[in-house]
Amino acid sequence: MNIACLIAVALLTANPAVSAQTPNSASASQGAAQNTNAKPDAVSLDAVFERGAINGSSYSNPLLGFSFAVPKDWRVLSKAEIVAAKPKAAELSAQQHPERSEQIREQAQFTALLFMAAQKIAGPDKRSFSVMAVPIDESDAGISGDEMLRRLAAKGRRENRPDRYVSEPEAKTYGGRKLWRADLQRAPSGPNALVRELIFVERGLCVVVMGGASNHADLDQLESVFESLRFFQPTN
């Protein structure tokens, strides 16, 4: 699976609420629209993309206050690769799903891909792992984190994938923090046919941590990466 296809899977599968605003400024790194009505402590998509970094065997993002272990022997995409491939990936997703093409193109404008990696193997059993961030809806800015996650899960079921949930969305604790988790099936078979999403809200952004696999056993093996998640006080 090439880089554009890998990113296309992430853009298509992610299911956060996007800001209702009209894009009015471009991110230098990813062409992502910014949330102009964000909370005072909110950070831009461009900033969280640039500040994320691989430190030894882990990825860390100080602006959002989280880290996780990077699986050994996986290929981690560079920031330059993500930036270069994202426009092609968004268009590929839109062409493959014409019934959702406008939604996919709009969502891509509000999505920052922070991290992406995949196993260094060929064939349909390759597993992948990615992280993305999207500004929360302006109408949701004042609600609690728990309620935000519940609304995001409900919106996804109602609008995007009402019949593809393999497991009911549920609250689960990772790294001492309660996140919202769901398993989804985006295709009958093939790479990333199954996806596990974890969602949390931080500094005006909905953060989606996502693992993909071709079967349930491989998807469950990604749980060790999810369980390596650690949260700390965000810094500037």
pLDDT in tens, 64-105: 999 999 988 899 999 998 888 777 777 777 776 777 777 777
Number of folded domains that form the chain: 1
pLDDT tens digit sequence for 171-193: 899 999 999 888 888 776 766 78
Residue 236 lies in a domain: no
Q: Which CA distances in Å does 172 have to 117, 134, 178, 200, 232?
A: 24, 21, 5, 11, 18
pTM summary value? 0.79
What CATH number does residue 33 fall under?
3.40.1000.10
Write down the pLDDT at residue 184.
Answer: 82
Residue 114: domain span: 3-231
Interatomic CA distance for residues 43 and 31, integer angstroms: 16
